[in-house]
């Protein structure tokens, strides 16, 4: 595949997204979908959940309102709204809640990059550094982009330096992917939902 065709295949995407998500199924009435990042042992309300180091757990159904959360030794209460998707992680002894962008179209794959590293800002590029997918992802925040289905090597970069690489990532149309960057590197998890 030529560089020009590769760029078109990877980056052709709609610029805006709606909260009509296709994580499928949508959260039940008066509920949200919530997951944890980089938390091998966690509870969301009464539910035990886990995510391997540097990975994302499945989304679980959480009633809207105030949610009790425990991630390892860190605990607290967070507020979630019905119909939304959220990711929770801990940083600096505090719980952080990010609202996740919902997928817009089954014709695209949605990538969401979470910067859980100590790097103030990073970019997501192809592993060779030639094609930029997302830029300026601040520490303890996320950024999303819809792309066409493709199999690709991806890497997180700080300036010209790669700080984590995943190879042979098969991005399927209609699916969503969490790319979590920690100080240990980059991991990719296909987003899923768990109804019970």
Dump pLDDT digits (tens) for 142-157: 999 999 999 999 999 9
The pLDDT value given to residue 10: 53
Position 159 scores a pLDDT of 96
Q: Which residue has the higher pLDDT, 12 or 100?
A: 100
Which domains does the chain carry? 3-19+104-194 (2.60.40.1120), 31-99 (no CATH)
Structure tokens at 9: 């295949």
Residue 117 pLDDT exceeds 60? yes
User: Taking the complete model, does pTM exceed 0.75, yes or no?
Assistant: yes
Give the least confident one: 7-21, 113-127, 180-194: 7-21
SS percent in the chain: helix, strand, coil, step 5: 5, 55, 40
pLDDT tens for 100-111 read 998 877 899 999
Over residues 69-95, mean pLDDT: 96
């Amino acid at each position: 595949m030529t560089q020009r065709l590769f760029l078109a295949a990877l980056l052709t995407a709609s610029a805006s997204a709606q909260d009509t998500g296709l994580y499928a199924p949508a959260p039940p009435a008066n509920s949200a979908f919530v997951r944890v990042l980089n938390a091998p042992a966690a509870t969301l309300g009464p539910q035990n959940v886990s995510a391997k180091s540097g990975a994302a757990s499945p989304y679980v159904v959480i009633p809207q309102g105030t949610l009790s959360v425990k991630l390892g030794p860190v605990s607290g209460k967070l507020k979630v709204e019905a119909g939304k998707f959220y990711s929770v992680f801990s940083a600096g002894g505090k719980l952080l809640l990010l609202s996740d962008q919902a997928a817009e179209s089954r014709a695209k794959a949605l990538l969401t990059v979470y910067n859980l590293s100590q790097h103030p800002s990073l970019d997501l590029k192809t592993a060779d550094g030639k094609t930029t997918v997302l830029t300026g992802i601040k520490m303890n925040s996320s950024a999303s982009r819809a792309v066409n289905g493709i199999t690709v090597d991806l890497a997180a970069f700080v300036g010209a330096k790669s700080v984590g690489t995943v190879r042979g990532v098969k991005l399927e149309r209609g699916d969503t992917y969490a790319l979590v960057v920690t100080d240990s590197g980059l991991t990719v998890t296909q987003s899923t939902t768990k109804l019970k």
